[in-house]
Structure 1
Amino acid sequence: MKRTKRLLGYGGLFTVLTLLMSACTNTQTHRQPPTGFLYGPIYHFLGLPMQHLITWMAKLFGNPPDYGWAILLITLIVRLVLLPLMLSQSKSTLTQQHRREAIKPQLDDIQKRQAAATTPEEKSALSQELMATMKENGVSMTGGIGCLPLLIQLPVFSALYMAIQYSPAIFKSTFLGISLGQTNVVVAVLAGLTYVAQGYLSLVGLPESQKKQMKTMMMMSPVMTFFIALVSPAGLGLYFFAGGILAIFQTLITNFYYMPRIKAQVAADLKKNPPKPVAKPTPAPAPKPKPKVVTAAPATPNHGRNRNAGKQQHHK
């Protein structure tokens, strides 16, 4: 649950940044480069260098320059640079998923007792037991999933957006009949579908108990990609589409090369070092209430009664 909330938070941040940039620019008409306090430096340090890079690469594909192929080449370079990091993250995620599956009976037992706990002391003790069980068995609370590749691509995304929006040559150019400076529904749909395919491929080989949780997270990336591509220039949608195709190849490499080796390695490690049961901590007893001290009322002398008793003895 915490992992899902964190990923949703990063996705929301990414979407908010996109909407902010979309609101401040117009993808239907070319505009002058920004000079304000916020967007001026972003354009100067990101958009303008990317504009020069796209123009230089476009000239490599002939005359007139082909800006569409230049964007595809930049996408390939970015994905190749990030490939070692992404593969390392995929390996870490798969390892964590298989280790978590090995201690699933212990985790299920703790979660059942958490649902039945009634006192804060019991809930706190069970939370400590859950964290200790995962720590002792080498399972991370985040499951090995990180958002570093997405965060690294944010500057590239911003640079491409501004380079296309504020360069008259790139904005008015076409690629396969698609205007790179205008929004395009077809490109947005293709970009979203590539990440749908990549998401389903990422579920191959996962334990059944984890597929339901991963399906919810899997749909976040295609929806977010489609929405951003829908409100952005088609040139940026082309970047997402090409990146999705490369992500599919990356997932295939992970599934058919890394996954069998990771499964065998985790199985060998668990055979050598079986899952460690963690001693159940006893919750701290609730403080006992202090007994109430009852003080006896002071005896009051009854002189009248004693005098009457004396009189009765005198008459006898």
Structure 2
Amino acid sequence: MTRRLYALLPLSLLLLLAGCGNPVNKPIDPSSGVWDRYFVGPLSATIDWFAHLLWGQYGLAILVVTIIIRFLILPLTLKQYRSSKRMQELQPELKKLKDKYKDDVKKQQEETMKLFQKHGVNPLAGCFPLIVQMPILIALYNAIMRNHDIKEHSFLWMQLGTPDHFYILPLLAAITTWLQQKMMSSQMNAQMQSLMFIFPVLIFVMSMNFASALPLYWVYSNLFTVVQSYFIYGGFPNKGGQSK
């Protein structure tokens, strides 16, 4: 079940972001509802504030906001890491249960849940950081598309309010997505590792269609994850998938 949820998250994110396309031309109005007041408005204002401090560079402002967001969810990431380590330690016992109750799926599920509860393992813990980031990404998409200053601002070779027609940014987003998954491969089972080539393709396609500021956030976030994983998992993974 956990693997299925994890696999569906990028597609769900794509659909959710696409569903937010209707109000992109509507100005941000904090009095119009909870979404603008507590999510889109504050995020847009935060990006504006940092851009003002950083010589009007919205690309740098997005970098700062990315770092802040990632540090805010760092406790969840650490919890995910501890849970995945416990899950790895339980693999021999899970295999025994699977073999013992191979003809009784219901009993196998019951005993598996008891095992998780006994050792304090949450099989869905790996999804939490992604789930938490989803509304942030949707709010960021709205903040970008509905903030006139961001839409009209350029950074390096890109116009932040439009897709990168040179496809450099989508390619960087895809490569950094693959790289951050590679860094975490030691914590993945064989089925999850097989998805490592699907997620970058999804990110590439999504980045081709969204305003450049959003895949720029993904690139920053992926690079943060690479550095974070280096320290959490103890270095770069070797060919066997284990960190050095």
Which of 140, 145, 149 does residue 160 from structure 1 map onto?
Answer: 140
Which of 96, 121, 142 does residue 106 from structure 1 map onto?
Answer: 96
Shift of 1:9: 4.0
Shift of 1:215: 1.3
Q: Would the alpha carbon gap of residues 40 and 134 (structure 1) be closer, same or farther in structure 2, given more than 3 Å must change?
A: closer
What TM-score do the two structures reach when normalised by structure 2?
A: 0.81
Q: Would the alpha carbon gap of residues 60 and 177 (structure 1) be closer, same or farther in structure 2, given more than 3 Å must change?
A: same
Separation of aligned partners in 2, 1:202 and 1:107 = 27
* Higher mean C-alpha displacement, 73-82 vs 177-186: 177-186
Pairs within 5 Å for 1:35-54: 42-54=35-47
* Higher mean C-alpha displacement, 194-203 vs 157-166: 157-166
Letter in 2 for 1:127: K
Q: Would the alpha carbon gap of residues 44 and 141 (structure 1) be closer, same or farther in structure 2, given more than 3 Å must change?
A: closer
Letter in 1 for 2:15: V
Q: Would the alpha carbon gap of residues 90 and 221 (structure 1) be closer, same or farther in structure 2, given more than 3 Å must change?
A: farther
Q: Is contact 2:59-2:155 (8 Å) kept? A: yes
Q: Would the alpha carbon gap of residues 212 and 57 (structure 1) be closer, same or farther in structure 2, given more than 3 Å must change?
A: same
Structure 2 partner of 1:264: none
Letter in 2 for 1:248: V
Separation of aligned partners in 2, 1:159 and 1:188 = 20
Separation of aligned partners in 2, 1:43 and 1:230 = 26
SS of the residue 1:149 aligns to? helix
Shift of 1:224: 3.9
Q: Would the alpha carbon gap of residues 141 and 59 (structure 1) be closer, same or farther in structure 2, given more than 3 Å must change?
A: closer
Q: Is contact 2:80-2:126 (8 Å) kept? A: yes
Structure number with greater Rg is: 1
How well do the aligned residues superpose, as a CA RMSD in angstroms? 3.0
Separation of aligned partners in 2, 1:212 and 1:85 = 24
Structure 1 partner of 2:110: 131
* Higher mean C-alpha displacement, 7-16 vs 188-197: 7-16
Shift of 1:239: 0.6
Are 1:181 and 2:175 counterparts? no
* Higher mean C-alpha displacement, 91-100 vs 238-247: 91-100
Shift of 1:89: 0.9
Are 1:6 and 2:10 counterparts? no
Q: Would the alpha carbon gap of residues 61 and 133 (structure 1) be closer, same or farther in structure 2, given more than 3 Å must change?
A: closer
Structure 2 partner of 1:33: 27
Structure 1 partner of 2:128: 148
Whose RCO is larger (CA < 8 A, sep 6+)? Answer: 1
Q: Would the alpha carbon gap of residues 145 and 221 (structure 1) be closer, same or farther in structure 2, given more than 3 Å must change?
A: farther
Separation of aligned partners in 1, 2:63 and 2:149 = 17
Structure 1 partner of 2:227: 249
How many positions carry a matched residue from both structures?
232
Shift of 1:181: 0.6
Separation of aligned partners in 1, 2:191 and 2:198 = 12
Structure 2 partner of 1:232: 210
Separation of aligned partners in 2, 1:41 and 1:90 = 33
Letter in 1 for 2:68: I
Are 1:82 and 2:73 counterparts? yes
Shift of 1:174: 0.9
Shift of 1:75: 0.2
Separation of aligned partners in 2, 1:133 and 1:7 = 19
Separation of aligned partners in 1, 2:28 and 2:36 = 7
Q: Is contact 1:97-1:143 (8 Å) kept? A: no
